[in-house]
Amino acid sequence: MIDQPKHGPCLFLFDGYAEGIEEPALSSFTGLLLASISSADPEGTVTAELRGGLPHLSDFAARITAVSRDVNNSSHTQSHDMNLYRLLIWDMAVSLSVGDIAPDYRTIMKVLGARREECLALSDLDPGIRALCDLKLRQTPGYLGCCPIDLGNPIQRRAFFDGLMHLALIEAGTVVQERTVEGDEDWALNGAAQFKPNGLTWVDHQFGMIPKRFRLPKVPVSERGMVSLDRFNRKSTVSVEGRVFETLRNATWTDTKGDAFSFSAAEPGRDILEAVLPDGKFTHYLFNRDHKDGGPKAKFLMDELGFEAEDWRYLAAQFYDALLISQPRDVELRRWERGYGARFNVYVEVTSRKGKSGVLRTGWMLAPGEIPSLSTAVPDRSEHAIKPPIPAVLRPEKTGNGWWEKLFVLADECGRNAHDAVLPTPMVLEEFEVIEEGECGSAYIVVKDARKGFARWLINTGRGERFYRGGAAIYSSSLSQSVERAEAYALSFARVLALNGVPSEVETYYS
């Protein structure tokens, strides 16, 4: 068992682009920090691991957008979710700005946002020594302040301690560095030889094994750590396509005999749904007793589970919702004339309106440049199926004012839930407080052709407004000025319409 550090870890934060700092900046700051510890701790009481480098917060926001393999190697391309990245910068800045000698959160945000930061962290440091080090470092350019590291905040801990480079150990007034694997004493830290009272000593390479007395223990998530995790989880999303890419990337590490290929993400489109659910796959296949291949599946769905053929959208929505929340299984690389794609399965525990449940293995095709498309569904006995939520699909009945009213209420309810669940990316304005609701704006849903159907009902009842393209527009609820919340409302509303057979589009504008 690893003991708790006596005093706790801390981060010394610097601006690596400050004027008057010799390059490389991290080396200069390391020398300054070691000199300040020597001065503040002449008896050599500090026992700590020293780490340094960049926090790489962008790694938390990385998303795989392409995978490839040739004869000799495999690779992947990644992009970054910039809204998530900006939110992490704000959250980490606020969480680090604790204590009398820590920088204020705006200073931390500015240096992190500009990628100017240099970090030096110690696994344990007495508060008195910490304060004396801070006092001495205040006299040098580039130093911003000293922040306590919350071991119970997994994001903060990984970014500002665990993810930094091991530089040295400090014990009994000595800086302890490792020789290389070959036994060479290279890259002595700046200021290590002058460290007081006992200077620098070298030990054999430890292959990443840190002595137990220097290690930081695993601790339960703190209250502030829960805030950071909640923000990260609410903001972090990975598309179906992204999960397929992750699976293929992992497979390329172990599959050395596979074909050479290159598979890239589709260009962002205006699709409301993230997958294609062909009507005929349900009406002419899965619910057709007379189909030579689909007949047995129709009997399973209708006779055993109690689904009704007219209510096929209730099943389709469960397939779709399971696709969004599941990890693709049985992923296979497939080749089309225009390039490579993939085939994969999702195992779904579906439930009819009568409450009867059963498992189906749904097969999906991810063709080059396209979104996933349902190809088949087969009864299965898997014990690891995904159980989707109750779908937002109305019972089929003759469309009219009553049905349109129900559809609007259902879509509005889902839209409001999505609106409230969104965590906007904070907006930073110079000389103003951070606006946590983010950029201002709104969004609207456009249903085409106001001469008929749902669009006409919207106009007649005042639930929508005439749109300049001849359709009807439903504007997002004015519960907030956040454009992200408004867009979430509109997209959720439009998804409910799509799952109920009403096509629409979403437009967003800033104000």
Domain annotation covers residue 395: no
pLDDT of residue 7: 82
Residue 491 above 60 pLDDT?
yes
The band of 258, judged by pLDDT with boundaries at 50, 70 and 90, is: low
Average pLDDT over residues 251-257: 57
pLDDT of residue 255: 55
The band of 338, judged by pLDDT with boundaries at 50, 70 and 90, is: confident
The band of 46, judged by pLDDT with boundaries at 50, 70 and 90, is: very high
Same domain, 174 and 31: yes
Domain annotation covers residue 1: no
Rounded Cα distance between 228 and 230, Å, is 5
Domain annotation covers residue 241: no
Same domain, 370 and 405: no
Same domain, 221 and 345: no
**Which of 67-71, 142-146, 332-336 tops mean pLDDT?**
142-146
Residue 394 above 60 pLDDT?
yes
Last residue of a domain, one of 345, 380, 415: 380
Same domain, 146 and 47: yes
pLDDT of residue 3: 61
pLDDT of residue 257: 55
Same domain, 112 and 224: yes
Same domain, 229 and 333: no
Three-class SS of 403-433: HHHHHHHHHHHHHHHHHHHCCCCCECCCCCC
Average pLDDT over residues 85-107: 95
- Percent of the chain topping pLDDT 90: 69
Residue 36 above 80 pLDDT?
yes
Average pLDDT over residues 125-146: 95
Rounded Cα distance between 489 and 491, Å, is 6
Same domain, 414 and 369: no
pLDDT of residue 5: 64
Domain annotation covers residue 262: no
Dump pLDDT digits (tens) for 416-447: 999 999 999 998 877 777 888 889 999 999 99
The dihedral over CA atoms of 322, 327, 332, 336, expressed in degrees to the nearest 10, equals 60
Average pLDDT over residues 53-66: 91
Number of domains in the chain: 3
Same domain, 183 and 41: yes
pTM score of the predicted model: 0.88
pLDDT of residue 184: 87
Domain annotation covers residue 246: no
**375: containing domain:** 271-380
Top-confidence residue, 173 or 336: 173
> Mean pLDDT for the chain?
91
Two tokens at 439? 């950029």
pLDDT of residue 398: 82
Average pLDDT over residues 58-75: 83
Q: Which of 404, 370, 384 is nearest to 474 (CA)?
A: 404
Q: Show Cβ contacts of residue 101 under 8 Å, excluding neighbours closer than 6 positions.
A: 130, 131, 134, 145, 146
Domain annotation covers residue 140: yes
Dump pLDDT digits (tens) for 198-251: 999 999 988 878 888 899 999 999 999 999 999 999 999 888 888 888 888 877
Point out which residues pair with 386 in neighbouring strands: 348
Dump pLDDT digits (tens) for 266-302: 777 778 999 999 999 999 999 999 998 889 999 999 9
Q: Which of 410, 415, 406, 408 is nearest to 490 (CA)?
A: 415
Average pLDDT over residues 307-318: 95
Average pLDDT over residues 250-277: 74
Same domain, 191 and 126: yes
Domain annotation covers residue 461: yes
Q: What share of the chain is helix, strand, coil (3-state, %, to 5)?
A: 35, 25, 40
Strand residues in 213-278 grouped as ranges (E): 261-264
pLDDT of residue 362: 97
Same domain, 168 and 96: yes
Same domain, 416 and 375: no
pLDDT of residue 1: 55
**Considering only 208-217, 323-332, 484-493, which range has the smallest mean pLDDT?**
208-217
Two tokens at 93? 């800045």
Domain annotation covers residue 410: yes
pLDDT of residue 253: 53
Rounded Cα distance between 418 and 211, Å, is 48
Average pLDDT over residues 28-49: 96
The band of 176, judged by pLDDT with boundaries at 50, 70 and 90, is: very high
Top-confidence residue, 131 or 209: 131
Rounded Cα distance between 317 and 277, Å, is 9
Residue 2 above 90 pLDDT?
no
Is the CB of residue 475 less than 8 Å from the CB of residue 468?
A: no
Residue 342 above 70 pLDDT?
yes
Same domain, 199 and 55: yes
